[in-house]
Structure 1
């Protein structure tokens, strides 16, 4: 038997969860919203919509984008985006460890 859990942040409405976490990680890795979206089997429009919604709720820009051209476009995390991604990653790890420890105490 094992415990399963999911985390997300909200303020009455969903702000940030696993989907956006994975998307931002992929954008950081690939330098492109389009490539990140494709790797996660989502449309560019869906990916961009998730980012813009979170930016609106947080009041911070998460991405900096460059328009295409000869060298192609791209995207990278802003300092705020990188900070938020790292904080969520740490929160997820800490919370997961606490849940696993509680599970072991009660069911292990």
Structure 2
């Protein structure tokens, strides 16, 4: 179920980014608005974490689960610290992105 949810979420990224771009223009914000630049940097970080930490684990876990695996192997995949750190980092980055895009803080240290 988790792999299906991940795949489904991946399919929603494209329409989400497109909708975000449309809303930026409809909202009249500049693409250089500090909260938007920070959000885009966090999105890039989110994608990098997923690519480097989570995707390799998911690929290995899916391949293992397709074959006959023991409870020990499943436990080893479930307890992979690198993947866990990646998933927790992704959740944290996503929460920061949501907070930035909801609050739209000025983020101007010289104001």
The TM-score bracket by the shorter chain reads 0.3 to 0.5
| Rg larger for | 2
Q: Which structure dedicates a bigger proportion of its chain to strand?
A: 1
Higher relative contact order (CA 8 A, sep 6+): 2
